[in-house]
Structure 1
Amino acid sequence: MSNEAFASRLGAGVRTVANWEANPDMVLSPGMQEVLDAALKDADESVQRRFGMLLAAQEGTSSPTPADMSARPSQAGERPSPDAAVEASQTHWREVRQYLIESGIGLAARTADLYDPTLRVEHVPAISTAAWLPSEPVPLEKVTLDWEDNPHKARITGIEAEARAALPLRAPGHAFTRYTAAIRYLRKPALFENRHSYRLTDIDWSEGAGRMTFGLATFFDKLDVSEPLGHEAAAAELAGHLDWAHLPFRGLVSDPFDLSSRIVNPGISTLTIRRNTSDGSGTFFLLRRDPTQVTNGRHYSLLPAGEFQPASISPQSVATDLDIWRNMVREYAEEMLGQPEHDGSSGVPVDYEVWPFYRDMTAARKAGTVRPFALGVILDALSLNSSIATTTVIDHTVFDDLFHDLVATNPEGEVVFSLDDNKSIRGLPFDEETVKRLTTREPLGQTSAACLTLAWRHRAQLLDV
């Protein structure tokens, strides 16, 4: 901000400052103090330095900066200013969120212990129910997706009184009304856009097939519930009380499998197995997620994994992209080949029929050398985010051809070829030792761990051709 703009913004406040210079004992009104603080926040360094010199002349001290002024401790018995309360609230929010990022995997395991142990997906911190898990892998061509034009309104949206403890102050007397707004203004990752997402409203697995029903929602609709759930748990654990009595917002979600209580926008987690056709063994890959790029970083996830979303804002995309396979292929192209992301912001639908990589993947699928399966739907016990667990088994010669240009990094993190630095394009061995290590000792995300566990449970069917 220029000096002229600074003076214009202060307006009558400048005259008050002049009066204050002549009468340093004068106390500014709260309104004038707010104007002054706002102007100084946006002023350039020279203006801030000149104002500091003015204060120094009045106080007989070295020139303080506006930051020094806000950090100056109050005198004993002095009431803290409203702005100090805002700063303290936001600082605490950031500290809790940092703990959530740093300790998310362990916190998820401890949160999972709050639920009926029969809901656990074996030993990993993810939960599901028998109605959401088929008894065996379902070939993707046997999974039908239906559309619902007007899905029911969710009862829990993240604006309830029970969620307010997770929402910091944005100004004196005013808290952020939604958690996503707090993320955007206080700790925004590089990838943070409110895109259309498919909302799961019904699910059924029977007779070796599956049927899911979806409506339309947004990415933030999900985050405004799932992120406060995680934040609340982190705050409770920091205070030494990770129990139901100190988790009022989580208590509202009395049945996490009730698809009418909140908006459930699933992601798709895919275990990609490169199958050696000579001996039937398999390898797979992970992504080490970067917390500066994505909201839930600093852990491993399967590769690829992403939100189930249309590829563009076009109404045509909403209809044509309601397809698990198309979503998976887009994620393969983005995360494993480094191709531009179909991030949902374009107005132009993807023309799948002329896209070479999609055509090659689909042709290999029809030939039986690429075999995608659905393993069920699972919930992260901490956030209660859902994921459609899938696996794709690809014959090694076809894999090496399709993914000849496999990248080492992508916009969300680093591709992991090995846990012990002996990197090979062949990836991590799909064996008991590696699966156990990842699901018990390594920071593997909850839904990824559950997907890997389910795939290992059904390994004989997946690898037997």
Structure 2
Amino acid sequence: MTVTGVNRLRELREAGSLTQRDVADRLGAAVTEAHVGRWERGDVVPSPRYRRLLAGVFGVSVPELGVAATPPAPRSRVRSSAEDFMADVVQDPRVVESQERWRATRRALNANRHALAQVAAGLYPGRALAGTGLIAGDGWIPERPVDLAAVALTERPNAEHPVLDGSEREAARLLPDQGLSRPYPRYTTAVRDLARPRLFEDRHAWRLLGVDWSRPGLEFGDMTYFGAADVFEALAHELAYVGLDADGRPTGTPSLRDLPYRRLVGDPFDLSRRPVMPAVSTLTIRRDGGRAEFLMHRRDPRAVTAAGGMLQVIPSGIFQPSSLLPAARAADFDLWRNIQRELAEELLGMPEADGHGRPVDYTAGPYGLLDRARADGSVRVWCLGVALDALTLVGEVLTVLVLDADVFDRLAHDFVEHNDEGQVVAERFEFTAGGVRSLLDSGRVAPAGAGCLELAWRWRDVLLG
């Protein structure tokens, strides 16, 4: 890209087809369109921090911005607010130190999620699901796999709001400074400004409200992704801060006395206390006579908020509608549709249904193929139960998708190696005692994936029979 002129900000922005609002959104909460406009006109020189951030937005080096390192002569104008002033000056070293400490803890969290999940599971005696890092409430794991078609879903759109929302004093203690006199208001705001992954958007999702395998059925309300992440990532951050030393090594097993926010949450299975985000995690098994094998997914820590760097079953995704349109919401309130969409996105590289487009056409492409195969019995899908990731207390709906070899191979012809969330592991793992156990013992599998493997192997005769 060739650009000219002393201040190249506007030209770089327009070359990238970005608006001033787009640039402001990518730079964080403290920056507005007005700031970007003043920088482009040369009224104000962005601070070194914002020069580095702008270079990252435009994909150039700092010198290529064409921005002078010294500010212009003062003008006789009055700034509109203290926030305008703070966005244009170098941050105070105390603020920088606070943010760097927070980033360091978050890096340690992402590097040690498996170990921290094991520590967290130990905080709930008698609730741990083997050594998976999951915990389960009474009756949350059925006595045997349940055909997904038999699981009734009930929606309570007018459910009462949860007691906790991430704004509590105990959660605020975990947040870095945004300025000299103000901390960040929410965990997700800090993530957006200081450690933003590629996929980070506040979308509508269904909130887990009840689990009852006597019917069998699951109950849901409404929530947003950020509304849940403000709680579940704060819980994980707190345990990382307390349970890891400065080098990211476990320091022992803390007690709930050391974890005031987790202690405030109380009973993790009281689904009225906090917004519990349910994810649907699916172990995909290829069945060929007496032989079975499965796939895994390596999640990219630069792209995702949770479980970055870990292995996960594939597909796996939040239970949410594909679009905000009423027709989509009605069609997508279905665990099978969620599994289909995630499979199409993660294994086939189809564009993500990000909530803003048209409803998904479930009669076309791989959706129609999977529906027909499920109808004739060459595809079977089971629910193994519901559990919580002990570290984050996120809900996990654990499922297994068993495809006969011919159906699997028709889909596999179009499998991608990489997707927006990470890399599809090229190796197919043998669904044998050795293959399952080697993964479970590796310490690399996310709790939901470990739970799927543990329960699927326990009930292999039912799933493959």
The two structures share one fold, judged by TM-score above 0.5: yes
Equivalences for 1:49-64 in 2 at 5 Å? 49-50=69-70
**Helix, strand or coil at the partner of 1:130:** coil
**Helix, strand or coil at the partner of 2:267:** coil
**Helix, strand or coil at the partner of 1:132:** coil
Contact 2:208/2:395 (8 A) holds in 1: no
Deviation of 1:402 (Å): 2.7
Q: Does 1:107 align with 2:107?
A: no
Q: Does 1:392 align with 2:384?
A: no
Q: 2:216 & 2:377 partners in 1: Cα distance?
A: 20
Deviation of 1:41 (Å): 5.5
The counterpart of 1:367, out of the listed 361, 373, 376, is 376
Between structures 1 and 2, the one with greater helix share: 1
**Helix, strand or coil at the partner of 2:213:** strand
What residue in structure 2 maps to residue 220 of structure 1? 226
What residue in structure 2 maps to residue 30 of structure 1? none
**Cα shift readout 1:60-118 (whole Å, capped 9, x = no counterpart):** xxxxxxxxx97xxxxxxxxxxx82221111000000000001111111112211211x2
What residue in structure 1 maps to residue 281 of structure 2? 269
What residue in structure 1 maps to residue 354 of structure 2? 343
Deviation of 1:325 (Å): 0.5
Deviation of 1:137 (Å): 0.3
Equivalences for 1:60-459 in 2 at 5 Å? 83-116=92-125, 118-206=126-214, 209-239=215-245, 240=251, 242-277=254-289, 279=290, 281-296=291-306, 297-346=308-357, 348-353=358-363, 355-418=364-427, 427-459=428-460
Q: 1:322 & 1:244 partners in 2: Cα distance?
A: 36
**Cα shift readout 1:254-296 (whole Å, capped 9, x = no counterpart):** 111111011112000000110112x2x2100000111111112
**Helix, strand or coil at the partner of 1:378:** strand
Code of the residue aligned with 2:415 in structure 1: it is L
Code of the residue aligned with 2:180 in structure 1: it is P
Contact 1:165/1:232 (8 A) holds in 2: no
Q: 1:331 & 1:159 partners in 2: Cα distance?
A: 31
Distance 1:40 1:104, change over 3 A: closer
**Cα shift readout 1:273-325 (whole Å, capped 9, x = no counterpart):** 10112x2x210000011111111210100011011110012132222210000
**Helix, strand or coil at the partner of 1:364:** helix
Deviation of 1:2 (Å): 7.1
Deviation of 1:406 (Å): 1.4
Code of the residue aligned with 1:121 in structure 2: it is L
Distance 1:282 1:41, change over 3 A: closer
Code of the residue aligned with 1:432 in structure 2: it is A
Contact 2:44/2:71 (8 A) holds in 1: no
**Cα shift readout 1:1-21 (whole Å, capped 9, x = no counterpart):** 97799xxxxxxxxxxxxxxxx
Q: 2:335 & 2:50 partners in 1: Cα distance?
A: 47
Q: 1:448 & 1:41 partners in 2: Cα distance?
A: 39
Code of the residue aligned with 2:303 in structure 1: it is Q
**Helix, strand or coil at the partner of 1:154:** coil
Deviation of 1:417 (Å): 3.1
**Cα shift readout 1:108-139 (whole Å, capped 9, x = no counterpart):** 112211211x2111122111023211110000
Distance 1:460 1:41, change over 3 A: closer
Q: 1:333 & 1:47 partners in 2: Cα distance?
A: 44
**Cα shift readout 1:350-371 (whole Å, capped 9, x = no counterpart):** 2223x22111100000000000
Flag the structure with larger Rg.
Answer: 1
Distance 1:379 1:48, change over 3 A: same
Unaligned residue ranges in structure 1 (runs of 5+): 6-34, 53-68, 71-81, 419-426
Q: How many residues align?
A: 393
Code of the residue aligned with 2:442 in structure 1: it is R
Deviation of 1:37 (Å): 9.2
Code of the residue aligned with 1:120 in structure 2: it is A
Code of the residue aligned with 1:133 in structure 2: it is I
Distance 1:172 1:402, change over 3 A: same
Q: 1:304 & 1:42 partners in 2: Cα distance?
A: 37
Q: 1:321 & 1:39 partners in 2: Cα distance?
A: 46
Identical pairs, percent:
40
Q: 1:222 & 1:377 partners in 2: Cα distance?
A: 18
Q: 2:128 & 2:368 partners in 1: Cα distance?
A: 38
**Cα shift readout 1:186-217 (whole Å, capped 9, x = no counterpart):** 110000111110111112101xx521111111
Contact 1:198/1:308 (8 A) holds in 2: yes
Deviation of 1:442 (Å): 3.6
Unaligned residue ranges in structure 2 (runs of 5+): 10-42, 52-61, 73-88, 246-250
Q: 1:341 & 1:455 partners in 2: Cα distance?
A: 28
Q: 1:40 & 1:361 partners in 2: Cα distance?
A: 53
Q: 2:361 & 2:350 partners in 1: Cα distance?
A: 15
**Cα shift readout 1:126-170 (whole Å, capped 9, x = no counterpart):** 110232111100001100111112111100111101111211111
Contact 1:271/1:390 (8 A) holds in 2: yes
Contact 2:384/2:452 (8 A) holds in 1: yes
Deviation of 1:40 (Å): 6.5
Q: 1:363 & 1:271 partners in 2: Cα distance?
A: 20
Q: 1:186 & 1:138 partners in 2: Cα distance?
A: 43
Code of the residue aligned with 2:463 in structure 1: it is L
Q: 1:461 & 1:202 partners in 2: Cα distance?
A: 26
What residue in structure 2 maps to residue 23 of structure 1? none
Distance 1:397 1:109, change over 3 A: same
Contact 2:228/2:275 (8 A) holds in 1: yes
**Helix, strand or coil at the partner of 1:282:** strand
**Helix, strand or coil at the partner of 2:216:** strand
Q: 1:153 & 1:91 partners in 2: Cα distance?
A: 34
Contact 1:361/1:402 (8 A) holds in 2: no
Contact 1:40/1:48 (8 A) holds in 2: no
**Helix, strand or coil at the partner of 1:406:** coil
Which region of structure 1 is more displaced relative to structure 2, 398-407 or 427-436? 398-407
